[in-house]
Amino acid sequence: MLPILYEDSSLLLINKPAGITVNRSDTTAGQETVQDFTDVYLQKELTPTVLPESTDSDEELSTDFYLRSGIVHRLDKETSGILIVAKSQDVFSALQGEFKERRVEKSYLALAHGKVTPMIGEINVPVGRLPWNRRQFGVVAGGRESLTKYSVVSYFRTADSRKEIVSLVELHPLTGRTHQIRVHLQYLGYPIFSDFLYAGRKTQREDRKLLERVFLHAAAIAFIHPTSKKRVSFAAPLPTELQSVMDQLVPMI
C-alpha cells in the first residue's frame, strides 16, 4: 500500500517513496511499480502494459489513460514525493493539458553540493540524452527546451570529515524533461547529494555512506482541479531518510 495524500471521486495523490519505479517497462520485471499499485487500488481490469524506455519527458508520455493506468506524470525511481493519478479519461486529459500548458506549479527540494549562488535564479539550457551514454542526460546541442527556477532555502556544512558546504534548494521546473533538475544543478556545478549519475563517482560514494538515494523530493504541487475548477495545492513532508540527513547538517550563520 503506497501512502495516499488525498483522494476524491476524480483523482488520487500518492506520496511515492524513493526506490519504487512509476511505470512498468522492460526493466521492471519482477518489481512492484506505482502502475501495478494503481491498477489494483482503482480496480482496473486491464491487461498489464509496458511503456517504452525511450521517453524523454514526463509531459510527453503516452496520452492513453489506460496505457498509463491513470498516472498523469512521473518521478525518477529514487525521487520521492507527489504523484497525481486520474480516475477517468476526462480527468487524465485535463490534467495532462495543464502540464503541457505549464499551469501546474511543481516544487521540489534538493540538497546540492556547494554554495549555490546567486540565491535566486533560473536555469534555461536544453536537455537531451547523451549520445555516448543513453542512460544519462545532459546539456546538449539540439536538446529540448528546459527551464528551472530556483531559490536557496539555507546553507549548511556536513558533519562528516569533509566539512563541505551544501545548499538546501527549492526548485520549480517549468518544463518536464527527464532528469531535468539533476542535470540543471550539475550544469551549474552544484550536483545533488547522493546522485549516482551526476555527482561524480567519488562524491556519490562518500554521500551514500550517509544517504542511499538521491536527495530530491517532489514536495508540493498546485493545479486547477478538473472537476471543481478551483485551484488546489498539496504538500508532502520530507521522508524520514531525508530529514535524518538534514538533522545531521550544521547550519551556516
Which residues form the catalytic set?
Answer: 76
The neighbour count for residue 76, using CB atoms within 10 Å, is 20
Give the span between the Cα atoms of 60 and 51, in whole angstroms: 12
Beta strands of 125-247 (E only): which ranges? 127-130, 133-139, 147-157, 165-173, 216-224, 231-235
**Considering only CA atoms, which of 22, 130, 135, 1 is closest in space to residue 70?**
22
Is the CB of residue 60 less than 8 Å from the CB of residue 11?
no
Cell 489506460 sits on residue: 66
Cell 570529515 sits on residue: 161
